[in-house]
Structures are given as structure tokens and as C-alpha cells.
Amino acid sequence: MPRLKHVKGAEEAVAAHPFAVPEERQVPGGWAELFGNGAPVFLEIGCGKGRFLLGQLSRRPERNYIGIEMYSSVLLRGLEAVDAMAAAGAEELKHIRFIRRNAIELDRIFAPGEVGGIWLNFSDPWPKERHAKRRLTHGRFLRLYEKVLAPGGVVEMKTDNPDLYAFTLEEAKACGWDVLFKTEDLYADETLLDGNIATEYEEKFVAEGRPIHKIVMKPQQPEI
Ligand code: SAH
């Protein structure tokens, strides 16, 4: 299995990278200190090679960003993209960091209210019913997001997978979340694409003519 060999080198390279936060510094309530400012932290879970998050950073450099990715070999590609930006002298990089972690540990990484918003782009659909709990929009994940999101913070998800889309709407309903926006074909309407940042997967799926689905949702807030 050549992939395993790859992963080993990747782990070390990630651990040594200045933009990868070591696990002992991934502490709830510690992010303002790490970033040196109290701006909200926006997360992409399953950030892949990082293009989307770096795009968000360029657009809104005043926010803080964390890319969360489970696999070192994938995360390393994102860190290489950071290196390229750093070489070009990108000042805003002080607002972005990456962590190699499973999102199921989210409440051990962020304190309540510490997260401004969450993106889930082309998350693994886990089509088998017995793997449903691994889907990043399963109720157990929505309850975690609810714990760490600041008031008004939203979760935005994009997928090419109609089943994951339908599942997400069901889980949102079951958890009492508000669906603020949904479409089964983001690219059908140019106005919807305003401000859209295409991810690596998205570019591939769009080229194949697969419709991109999108949902924006948030936990229900108590009436004031
Ligand atoms: N967002 C990227 C990559 C999508 S693939 C894009 O749109 O191009 C989904 C990614 O999510 C994979 O890299 C996978 O390793 C990661 N992932 C899946 N489950 C995860 C979890 N529980 N925690 C962290 N990352 C996860």
C-alpha cells in the first residue's frame, strides 16, 4: 500500500509546519490568544487542499480561519498552498491556521461561542446506512456545532450528492435547526454564484455537469 508510506512523511511534515497548530495548543477558549485578536473563528471541516479557505481569507482577511482535516497527506497539500502565499508575502496569513483532527472532537477544541461559522464542502456522503453516523451533518455533529457556534453563526454545506442533501435537511429538521437557504442547483442561477468560492471537488463536479446542492442552516435561538 504505497499510500501508507506517503502518510508517514506527511505526518512529520504537518507537525513541523508553522501554520499547523499542534494538538496541545488546540484548546477551547485559547484561539483569541493564538491569533492575537478576538475576531470570530470560521471553520472549514474537511478542508482538503485548502483552496476554499484561502479564498475566504483573501476576501475577508479580518476574520480568523481554521481548516480542519483528518488526514495529514491531504492537509499537507493545503499547507503547501499556504507556503506559496507566504512566499508571495501575503500579510493576511496571520489569520489562518490548520489542524489535523477529527471533527467529532470539536467541543474539545473550541469553547461555546468561539466559532463564527462552519463550512462543510463536499463532505464524504457515507452512503451505507451503517455509516450514517459518520456523515458530518448527522445529528450528533449538528449538536456539536450548536455547542461551539456564536449566536447567529451558520453552517453552510455544499454537496453533489442528492442523498446527503436530503439527509442533511432531515437531520436539520429533527434537531430543530432553521434552514435559511437551500438549492439543488447552485449553478442554475448566476445570482446564487455571487461570492461563491469553488472548491477542488466542486470544480471537478461542475465540469462533469453534476448539479451542486447547497444548504445554509443554523441552530434555533431562544427568543429574546
Ligand atoms: N472540502 C474539499 C475536500 C472534500 S473531501 C473540497 O471540497 O474540495 C472531504 C474531506 O473531508 C476529506 O479530505 C476528508 O479527509 C475530510 N473529512 C471527512 N470526515 C472528517 C472529519 N470527521 N474530520 C475532519 N475531516 C474530515
List, for residues 179-215, the tens digit of each pLDDT value. Answer: 999 999 999 999 999 999 999 999 999 999 999 999 9
Residue minimizing CA distance to atom 2 of ligand 1: 48
List, for residues 58-91, the tens digit of each pLDDT value. Answer: 999 999 999 999 999 999 999 999 999 999 988 9
As a whole number of angstroms, the distance between CA 26 and CA 81 comes to 22
- Is the pLDDT at 34 greater than 70? The verdict is yes
Three cell numbers at 90? 501575503
List, for residues 167-182, the tens digit of each pLDDT value. Answer: 999 999 999 999 999 9
Ligand 1 contact via 212 beta carbon (within 6 Å): no
- List residues with catalytic annotation: 124
Q: Cα of 87 to ligand 1 centre, how many Å? A: 26
What is the rounded average pLDDT for all residues in the chain? 94
As a whole number of angstroms, the distance between CA 135 and CA 67 comes to 18
List, for residues 9-30, the tens digit of each pLDDT value. Answer: 899 999 999 999 999 999 999 9
Query: In this predicted model, which residue has the larger pLDDT, 142 or 6?
Result: 142
- Is the pLDDT at 37 greater than 90? The verdict is yes
As a whole number of angstroms, the distance between CA 136 and CA 153 comes to 17
Ligand 1 contact via 57 beta carbon (within 6 Å): no
As a whole number of angstroms, the distance between CA 82 and CA 96 comes to 9
The pTM of this model reads 0.95
What is the predicted pLDDT for the residue at 90? Answer: 86
Q: Which of 70, 108, 158, 202 to mutate to test the pocket of ligand 1 (most atoms within 8 A of CB)?
A: 70
Percent of the chain with pLDDT over 70: 96
Three cell numbers at 4? 501508507
Residue minimizing CA distance to atom 4 of ligand 1: 122
DSSP states of 142-188 as a string? HHHHHHHEEEEEEEEEEES-HHHHHHHHHHHHHTT-EEEEEES-GGG
The phi, psi pair for 126, rounded to 5°, reads 40, 70
Q: Cα of 124 to ligand 1 centre, how many Å? A: 7
Ligand 1 contact via 102 beta carbon (within 6 Å): yes
Q: Cα of 67 to ligand 1 centre, how many Å? A: 10
Q: Cα of 197 to ligand 1 centre, how many Å? A: 16
Residue minimizing CA distance to atom 12 of ligand 1: 46
List, for residues 154-170, the tens digit of each pLDDT value. Answer: 999 999 999 999 999 99
Ligand 1 contact via 122 beta carbon (within 6 Å): yes
